[in-house]
Amino acid sequence: MHELSIAEAMLEQALAALRAAGGGRVVRLRVRVGELSGVDPDALAFAVPVAARGTEAEGAQLEVVRCPARVECEVCGATTAVEWPDVRCGHCGADRVRIVDGRQLRLESLDVETPAAALDGG
């Protein structure tokens, strides 16, 4: 499954950031998935917890931010959202457009819990 390897790569990135921050665990992940990225957000939402099993991100909440496809028109210059796969300018209807948004696939942010509480001896 394509989404599982993407989930693994994102987790690797998240865990590296966690270690750089001093350790602890990941409690929440926010990822941005463009409509044109070729990734199914639902499949990704399923794959992340699977890939997180046994890591410091196990049980982390996942928030998937879906980004619609947007194009810039070469005729009138407007930037509009499109109903993929009907790629046309939403303003003048021209099909001479350039894709400017919707291809992204990235880990946007993560919330971590530091191990400070565990040091409290009490």
- Shortest distance, position 36 Cβ to Zn ion, whole Å: 19
- By C-beta, is 19 or 91 nearer to Zn ion? 91
Distance CA 62, CA 115 (A): 21
Interface with Zn ion, residue 16, by CB under 5 A: no
Total length of the chain: 122
Interface with Zn ion, residue 76, by CB under 5 A: yes
| Selection from 91, 100, 116, 122 nearest residue 36 by Cα | 100
**Residues touching Zn ion: how many (CB under 5 A)?**
8
- By C-beta, is 63 or 95 nearer to Zn ion? 95
- By C-beta, is 45 or 78 nearer to Zn ion? 78
- Shortest distance, position 12 Cβ to Zn ion, whole Å: 41
Distance CA 39, CA 60 (A): 20
Interface with Zn ion, residue 94, by CB under 5 A: yes
In angstroms, the Cα distances linking 90 to 3, 11, 66 are: 31, 37, 20
Residues 34-73 that bind Zn ion (CB under 5 A): 73
- Beta sheet of 79-81, edge-to-edge order: 79-81, 70-73, 97-101
List residues near Zn ion by CB under 5 A. Answer: 73, 75-76, 78, 89, 91-92, 94
